[in-house]
Amino acid sequence: FLNYNDMAEVAAEIGFEGLDLTVRPKGHVLPERVADDLPKAVEAMEKFGLQAQMMTTNVTNANDPEQLAILQTASELGIKHYRMGWLKYPEGDSIPKSIETFTDQFKSLEILNQKLGLHGAYQNHAGNHVGAPIWDLYQILKGTSTKFIGSQYDIRHATVEGGNSWELGLRLIQPFIKSIVI
């Protein structure tokens, strides 16, 4: 609800050191305007001494031109980390087939992230999302390098899905965790 300058000024007054910009539909920066607006948002943040190191996106596909533009622009501006968009299992495909498809998507993003100097993190999210049960996210990530792709672990969503066994999922995914949502 605030423009970039006011957003940065308020965040600095509160005492924040940086902001996690939302670069997705209905976010701080709209994906279709990323080349024009993300530099403006970062410039406003820097004006008030804030760091622009992280963004939350809808990125799930390295071959999508709009998503590629988001990552390229972020890389050019020095943003190093992004949270990926959520994935859902398609109704017509089996879970194992879907996991193979998502594994290929993550590997493509890993290659792109390496080229751009980025790290993409997939957040576990309660519900019928990929990553909700954690074991599936582990299956997808186990063949990747944690240097360029991993998990943004959300404790709340893990406990909702995992009940009394959420700690097992945490132990399983731990090597891939790049950030934690509290």
The model's confidence at residue 100, banded by pLDDT at 50, 70 and 90, is very high
The pTM for the full model equals 0.93
The Cα 25–Cα 161 span in angstroms is 26
List, for residues 116-171, the tens digit of each pLDDT value.
Answer: 999 999 999 999 999 999 999 999 999 898 999 999 999 999 999 999 999 999 99
Mean pLDDT confidence for 38-46? 98
The model's confidence at residue 11, banded by pLDDT at 50, 70 and 90, is very high
Say yes or no to pLDDT of 1 above 90: no
Supply the pLDDT for residue 145. 86
Supply the pLDDT for residue 181. 86
